[in-house]
Amino acid sequence: MKAQPKSKKVNKAWLHDHINDPWVKLAQKEGYRARAAYKLKEIDEQLGLIRPGQVVVDLGSSPGAWSQYVRRRLAPAGAAAGALDGAMIALDLLPMEPIEGVTFIQGDFREDAVLERLQQAVQGRPVDVVVSDMAPNLSGVDSVDAARVEHLIELALDFAGQHLRPEGALVAKLFHGSGYSQLVQRFKDRFQVVKALKPKASRDRSAETFLVGLRLKDPR
């Protein structure tokens, strides 16, 4: 009998876990595009980051679960449709199905022209919260992957430093491993308060964690 390739076994195991995942089922029930919505929801509920009237920027937004969550937080009575009390701007390299009231920019955040489009969409308004679920394509080479993650985090920190209100917040995904402690220090250099959180909706075997920076330090 021919042995089944390992990759197929892994894919079947992942598919089985995904189908039976309670967060996946809850996302389907509540109309979210991905279980990731509950990662941001838990972080927000712990720290009280997102409120009506704010300007929020979502980096690495596709397929849109974080934007959906933020959009409901900005809408009267948490509605998934209708007028927003605030503004929501999302950006991703990949396409994203439209979300009512959310301005979406498709492009590479690492490119100056795309960053300029994002800045134009902000329209000079101070940003209350930046959320970043950006992650690079991983090569499997630790040093290369760490450099790619660090670059995206640096870009998110730079954008937050230029556009956040002094009391604003940045939520960013990163991974335990090479360069993790240096990235934590980068956050501590920029923010008065830094918290590392791993929400319940984040899979146990995943190395991802989320850093939250609160209240920018005086740049002077």
Nearest alpha carbon to residue 126 among 205, 47, 56: 56
Nearest alpha carbon to residue 112 among 155, 58, 161: 155
Is 14 flagged in the annotation as binding?
Answer: no
End-to-end Cα distance, the chain: 70
Q: How far apart are CA 133 and CA 131, in angstroms?
A: 7
Q: Is 39 annotated in the active site?
A: no
Are 211 and 183 in contact, with CB atoms under 8 Å apart?
yes
Is 108 flagged in the annotation as binding?
Answer: yes
Q: What is the DSSP letter of 189?
A: H
Say if pTM beats, i.e. exceeds, 0.95.
no
Number of Cβ within a 10 Å radius of residue 85: 12
Write down the catalytic residue from 2, 12, 41, 173: 173
**pLDDT tens digits, the chain, 220 residues: what are they?**
434 444 555 566 545 455 667 878 988 999 899 999 999 999 999 999 999 999 999 999 999 999 999 999 999 788 877 889 999 999 999 999 999 999 999 999 989 999 999 999 999 999 999 999 998 777 777 777 778 888 999 999 999 999 999 999 999 999 887 788 999 999 999 999 999 999 998 877 778 899 999 999 975 4
Is 133 flagged in the annotation as binding?
Answer: yes
Parallel, antiparallel, or unpaired for β 102-106 and 87-92?
Answer: parallel
Are 129 and 215 in contact, with CB atoms under 8 Å apart?
no
Are 175 and 182 in contact, with CB atoms under 8 Å apart?
no
Is 58 flagged in the annotation as binding?
Answer: no
